[in-house]
A and B are shown apart, each in its own frame.
Chain A
Amino acid sequence: MNQANLILNSLSLGYDKDIYSRISASANYGEMVALVGPNGIGKSTLLKSIAAIQSFRSGEILIDAKNISAISQKVLSTLISFVPSQSPKALNLSVFDMVSSGCFNRSNWLGEANEEDKALVMETLDRVGLDGFAFRDSGRLSDGEFQRAAIARSLVQKSGIMLLDEPTAFLDIENKLVVTRLLAKLAKEEKRCIIFSTHDLQLAIKLCDRIWLMGRDHFTEGSPLDLIENGAFDSMFKDSGLKFDKTLYTFI
């Protein structure tokens, strides 16, 4: 059977009332997925619902054909990792200690990572371009460096699916490109399924395999080109008179 690795089945988000409903989408290992939509539409809520950080109203989420509500939080953390939009920076916590906390479920009772995981942490720091940063203070990293450390922290969790909430929102153009390219590389080379919310439509269209679009009135998913062709982006800002330019990949 040809089933996607991650499937959202008519999901309704919210705590005591629906804030967004009828979300059906899928994603696969090795794919980079951008989650786009206007501010306040519920992008964070969707990511947090998938990561089981908050509950959702109805519908189902399947990972490799298994319903996540039947999976314990601990096991789920080996399948999905989550990078919050603005993790609090802990002053005087070394980058090594920060990243190795991703080994939480494999470390001993004091939270000490085993030798294998320590090596993994060092190697992961290299992979995200933070070699030599292990014993720097994570609280004093630049925003771009901190975001890459947070990505490393989620990588050592060894999950196939990585969710990132606005990973580039507070970064300058250079760091934005560095982080996005890193994510694309991780998706391709390590066969991870990377889903991130963003406001940068141009970048999303150029780099992503798939776009999840939370429009004003309904949810759409598809490849960037499909969405451009069928005018899905125009529905994003229905009331404001903005038109999506199909050649510039942006709103004018």
Chain B
Amino acid sequence: MTITRLKFRKSYTAIYAAIAVALLILTILNLILGSVIIPPGELLASLTGSEAPKYVNDILWNFRIPKVITALLAGVALSVCGLQMQTMFRNPLADPFILGISSGAGLGVALFVMGSSAFGLSIAGGLFFNLGIAASAWAGAAGVTLIILLVSHRLRENSSLLIFGIMIGSVTSAIITLIQYFSSSSELKAFVTWTMGSFSGLTNSQIWILSLLVVPGIVLSVYNIKELNILLQGEAYAKSLGLNLQATRRRILIATTLLAGSVTAFCGPIGFIGIAVPHIARLFFKNADHKVLVPATALTGAAIMVLTDMVAQLPGQSWVIPINTVSALIGVPVILFIIMRSKFS
């Protein structure tokens, strides 16, 4: 039928393919580059299971492949999360962390890291310690979401929900400052290291846990597409269509906690990606339809996160730049661009 043909007159296959190719190239570069540069031939050999030097196998399979998988998951999760927040709050600067989800995670980690010595636990980075950080971050993030869910029916306006998130952030950072004041320097270092964000150091089982949380979050996000497209057109209209606003908000918040909460738990609070990537995707695709935007944002987010991680591991250097520093360098110009454009157009 002609209408169907018209409807899909605009094909996005080319843009999707271009970003997918960029993602593939960035992923390969990410595997090659680092403090030790792996020659492409040996990379291929190791990946295909042929004969490769032991150091290549070690670096690749124990370090770089887990790291790049984590970066991919984090990129997809944070970006899709940011997209939903921006639509739900109809605020271009909303992101996974504006609601205080990362603050909650931070408080959880602070309590765990700086409180663990009080229970006589050693601060050394054992398995218990790593899992403890993740669990406490997740508990903190989920706790904040629970509070938001409980009060969301009282906060009718989205702006009040945003202010509520910022207030939660202020309270948690005040508490964290207080805890820091009473903690030892090694505890402080462990906490600060977590806040810098990192994709390395996740064990295979941790990556499995992360995927088992992120995948349902993505599935739920895809299921949210229909409602997101309505929310785009205002809440009064959404309600007049019979859309249950409370239930929709709840579903979106659950998806965002699954996505952002889990990534924050394992990788630390990674800023700016959640705000910036949806805008970059909108710039590429020029379509507000979430059927286009959700996959576009996921793909772009993965590519940008792998790039961020690659820059953070400046090739040939033995030290590493915190992920948050690089993500700020990529994200802040995008955010400034949005603000400037909305001011002058």
Please give me the residue from chain A that is nearest to B226 by CB atom: A111
Specify which chain A residues have a CB less than 8 angstroms from the CB of B291 in the assembled complex. 110-112
Write out, one digit per residue, whether chain A residues 136-163 have a CB within 8 A of any chain B CB (1) or not (0): 0001000000000000010001000000
B289 touching A93, Cβ below 8 Å = yes
- A104: contacting residue among B1, B7, B90, B242, CB under 8 A: B242
Which of A48, A84, A94, A104 is close to B230, meaning CB atoms less than 8 Å apart? A104
- List, in ascending order, chain B residues with CB within 8 A of A97's CB: 229, 288-289
CA distance A118 to B3 in the complex (A): 7
Q: Does chain B have a CB within 8 A of A58?
A: no
Q: Check if A92 sits within 8 Å of B287, measured CB to CB.
A: yes
Chain A residues with CB under 8 Å of B232's CB are: 88, 90, 93
Q: How far is the CA of A51 from the CA of B240 in the complex (A)?
A: 6
Tell which of B230, B237, B242 touches A74, judged by Cβ atoms closer than 8 Å: B242
Residues of chain A from 30 to 88 with CB closer than 8 A to chain B in the complex:
48, 51-53, 72-77, 80-82, 84, 87-88
Instruction: Give the complex CA separation of A104 and B239 in angstroms.
Output: 11
Q: Is the CB of A77 within 8 A of B240?
A: yes
Bitwise, A100-111 to B at CB < 8 A (1) or not (0) is 011011010111
A242 at the B interface (CB under 8 A): no
Q: Any chain A CB within 8 A of the CB of B244?
A: yes
Please state if A72 and B242 are interface contacts (CB–CB under 8 Å).
yes
- Interface check A229, CB cutoff 8 A: no
Instruction: Give bound CA distance, A139 to B241, whole Å.
Output: 21
* CB of B282 closer than 8 Å to a CB of A: yes
Q: Is the CB of A84 within 8 A of B226?
A: no
CB of A177 closer than 8 Å to a CB of B: no
Interface residue A96 (Cβ < 8 Å from any Cβ of B): yes
Contacts of B220 in A (CB 8 A): none
Q: A115-B1, A122-B3 are in contact. Are A90 and B233 (CB under 8 A)?
A: yes
Is the CB–CB distance between A73 and B242 below 8 Å?
yes
A53-B236, A53-B239, A101-B230 as given contacts; A88 in contact with B4, CB under 8 Å: no
Contact B234 A91 (CB under 8 A): no
Instruction: Report whether A80 and B225 are in contact in the complex, using a CB–CB cutoff of 8 Å.
Output: no
Q: Which residues 243-261 of B have a CB within 8 angstroms of A?
A: 243-244
Partner of A80 from the list B4, B240, B243 (CB cut-off 8 Å) is: B240
Instruction: Give chain A interface residues in 175-223, CB to chain B under 8 Å.
Output: none
Chain A, residue nearest B285 (CB):
A92
Known contacts A87-B233, A96-B7, A122-B3; is A111 also within 8 Å of B241 by CB? Answer: no
Q: Smallest Cβ distance from B112 to chain A, in angstroms?
A: 40
Across the interface, which residues of A come within 8 angstroms of B10, CB to CB? Answer: 135
Tell me, rounded to whole Å, the shortest Cβ–Cβ distance linking A99 to chain B.
Answer: 11
Most buried by A among B9, B237, B243, B287: B237
Central interface residue in B10, B240, B282, by most chain A CB within 10 Å: B240
In the complex, which residues of chain B have a beta carbon less than 8 angstroms from the beta carbon of A51?
A: 239-240
Residues of B contacting A92 with CB < 8 Å? 282, 286-288
Answer whether residue A171 sits at the interface, using C-beta atoms and an 8 A cutoff: no
Contact B223 A109 (CB under 8 A): yes
Task: Name the distance in Å between B61's Cβ and chain A's nearest Cβ.
Answer: 38
- The answer to whether B289 touches A118, judged by C-beta atoms less than 8 angstroms apart, is no
Asked, given contacts A97-B229, A101-B230, whether A77 binds B241 with beta carbons under 8 Å apart, the answer is: yes
16 new A-B contacts at CB < 8 Å, known A74-B242, A104-B243, A109-B226: A73-B244, A76-B242, A77-B242, A82-B236, A88-B233, A91-B288, A92-B288, A97-B288, A97-B289, A105-B242, A111-B226, A111-B229, A115-B1, A118-B1, A135-B10, A153-B237
Q: Mind listing 27 A-B residue pairs with CB under 8 Å? A: A73-B243, A74-B242, A77-B241, A77-B242, A80-B240, A81-B240, A82-B236, A82-B237, A82-B240, A84-B236, A88-B233, A91-B288, A92-B286, A92-B287, A93-B232, A93-B233, A93-B287, A93-B289, A94-B287, A96-B7, A111-B225, A115-B4, A118-B4, A119-B3, A139-B288, A153-B237, A157-B241
Q: Tell me the B residues contacting A by CB distance below 8 Å.
A: 1, 3-4, 6-7, 9-10, 90, 223, 225-226, 229-230, 232-234, 236-237, 239-244, 282, 286-289, 291
5 closest cross-chain pairs (CB), A and B: A82-B240, A111-B226, A77-B242, A73-B242, A93-B288
